[in-house]
Amino acid sequence: MAQAPAPAPSQDGDDPYLWLEDVGGDKALDWVKARNAESTAALADSKAFEQTRERILEVLDSDARIPGVVKMGAYYYNFWRDKTHQRGLWRRTTLDEYRKDSPAWETILDLDALGKKENENWVWHGAECLRPYDGRCLLSLSRGGADATVVREFDLKTRDFVADGFRLAEAKSSVNWIDIDTLFVGTDTGAGSMTRSGYPRIAKRWKRSTPIESATVVYEGTADDLSINAYHDDTPGFERDFVRRTIDFYSSQTFVIGKDGKQARLPIPDDANGSVHREWLTVETRMPWTVDGKTYPGGALLAAKFDDFMAGKRELVVLFEPTETTSLAGYSWTRHHLIVNQLDDVKSVLTVLTPADGAWKRSTLPGAPKLSTVSATAIDADDSDDYFMTVAGYLEPTTLYRGVIGEAKAEVLKRTPAFFDASRLDVAQHFVKSKDGTRIPYFIVAPRDLRKNGANPTLLYGYGGFEVSLQPGYAAVAGRAWLEKGGVYVVANIRGGGEYGPRWHQAALKQNRLRAYEDFAAVAEDLIARKITSPAHLGIQGGSNGGLLMGNMTVLYPKLFGAVVCQVPLLDMKRYSHLLAGASWMAEYGDPDKAEEWQYIRTFSPYQNVRKDVKYPPVLFTTSTRDDRVHPGHARKMMARMREQGHDVTYYENIEGGHGGAADNRQAAFMQALAYTFLWQHLK
């Protein structure tokens, strides 16, 4: 195992690049525009770049993509972007139409037309509709892709916004219908109304035609909480009101609001996740939980009758219990059943659980293919046992099935066409031991006749944080821009993720963060040892927390890589908790303002650890001016510091895009083409 360099002397004094944290300042934007001009000239001014961009855009704009739908009432709703509708259409159809190769869609809202009419660069952020889903909705619209949205009331019958209807100014708001004239809401109403993380601190009950300032306070959290939100469960016969205090990313408290306004706390641990469906309470544990002398492990899924549990009974049923190789990936209720999605060594397994006479029957989901990434979700949990099942692999185009639990076989509704030639490619899963002996899985997609001569251009992708699992999915863009051209594609399932449940995530939290980077280095070294590639031909890519991973692999393991693509990254871990939503991630990384925690945080803060006298691989930094989650100052400052030190660095900042980096398909194709062009330039 390669040894990571010791951290550089702390650079906690004056930061010469603080001015780059002024997101929209003239001086900072002039710097951004100059860097963008340099990177565009270096990467985008070629026939090869344009061909790559066009090939990627064909995938993103293709009418043959599967339109994902959500059932509301009698209709199936979809939001759709293509080459004609860059910002998108909100539309709907019936199930009979959806079954067709070319369904007839009814347009509800044309976002391109709305943006043109209102002179706004609107980006769709979703709709919250009032049951029975034939009247009013609350639409969330973002300027340029930021997390903050404007919320406006919309009438499905008139296809227009409601004059003098509910409306919230731009903020990271939380809204939920109670009834036609009442909302639960949390939003920015001035000083003290938001948490340090930038989310609502106060949940209110807001009546129509009254000012938001006079809305009734339901719950107030503290400034150090992540967020507070109240919500109404409108399941017929099981209507309930709740408020959730999210303390940090992994701790929360849920309260049931009685008809008398009194609140009763759901008696589960703060680090567990409770969910209520009809008469059932389900609890996902993160840590071991002892109840009435019995201990349930972290990563388990438990069930109890909700009313009985609130009354003091503790009759819990274990629906899922993890093993060394299995973890809970998710679950979804239908009307009478619970579909449990689990992973076994990062491969999908589906089980149907049915409550009956105090027991739960177990069966496999018929027709679920093996050795693929498979997920199943209810279509309408209130009225049917219908489900959608999605199946995909790195080389297998996505297939959407519709089934009914209790029936033998699900029907194929949609198939994505093959966007690249996979006939000469294979997928394999390998395992490697990390520095501390932990077994780390990774997937590799490569030509079947691959020559193990150490010269294959190889792209290694990773994330390793926030309990996020990286599962196989159809690699349409990577297939066109990387695999078809002879590249090898690798995905590392490092600690910090959720591939083996909470324990896998917790193993790389805070003071143990370096384990994630040791895991990633172990995968890279295994690829080199097996002569799949060599440092000169090995590139790496990641975004957000994966951007922090890229920054650390660059400064800690510079000899392992030939090129780095670092996207929408965290990099200055000394200041991250003071920038935008950064305070919400202290449960993941620690608090840099506490001296004892800064001592370990500084070991994985790339901005403080980059050195002038070390040779680093070439790095491409990309971010977005409109990213109001991870501050663009991270990438800006790291680029400026490395540039000053004389390193080979390239930078591009999309003026729109939010944390996703792009506000529409054209921007996404441009940004992805930049990354692949950069990698090919340095790894061939």
Residues acting as catalytic residues: 544, 659
Q: Which two tokens stand for residue 115?
A: 């943006």
C-alpha closest to that of 218 among 262, 252, 175: 262
Q: What does the CA dihedral 318, 320, 321, 323 come to, rounded to 10 degrees?
A: 160
Query: Would you give the distance in Å from CA 683 to the centre of its chain?
Result: 29
Distant-in-sequence, close-in-space partners of 3: CB < 8 Å, separation ≥ 6: none
Query: Measured between alpha carbons, how far is 402 from 162 in angstroms, rounded to an integer?
Result: 35
Look-up: residue for tokens 């520095």? 435
Q: SS3 for 549?
A: helix
Q: What residues form DSSP beta bridges with 567? A: 543, 622
Q: Which two tokens stand for residue 278?
A: 């009809």
Query: Measured between alpha carbons, how far is 189 from 211 in angstroms, rounded to an integer?
Result: 11
Q: Which two tokens stand for residue 166?
A: 């509910």
Q: Which two tokens stand for residue 395?
A: 């080389």
Look-up: residue for tokens 């996979």? 422
Burial 520-559 (b: 16+ CB within 10 A, else e): bbbbbbbbbeeebbbbebbbbbbbbbbbbbbbbbbbbbbe
Query: Measured between alpha carbons, how far is 614 from 599 in angstroms, rounded to an integer?
Result: 22
Q: Which two tokens stand for residue 372?
A: 């693929």
Query: Measured between alpha carbons, how far is 535 from 331 in angstroms, rounded to an integer?
Result: 41
- Residue 133 gets the label, from left (phi > 0), alpha (psi -120 to 50) or beta, of left
Q: What share of the chain is helix, strand, coil (3-state, %, to 5)?
A: 25, 35, 40
- Cα separations in angstroms, 133 against 74, 138, 508: 9, 11, 43
Determine the residue type at 64.
A
- Per DSSP, 661 falls in state T
Sign of the alpha-carbon torsion through 672, 674, 676, 679: negative
- Per DSSP, 681 falls in state H
- Cα separations in angstroms, 124 against 30, 165, 450: 29, 19, 43
Look-up: residue for tokens 């639409």? 139
Query: Measured between alpha carbons, how far is 430 from 560 in angstroms, rounded to an integer?
Result: 19
Query: Measured between alpha carbons, how far is 446 from 462 in angstroms, rounded to an integer?
Result: 17
Query: Measured between alpha carbons, how far is 643 from 586 in angstroms, rounded to an integer?
Result: 29
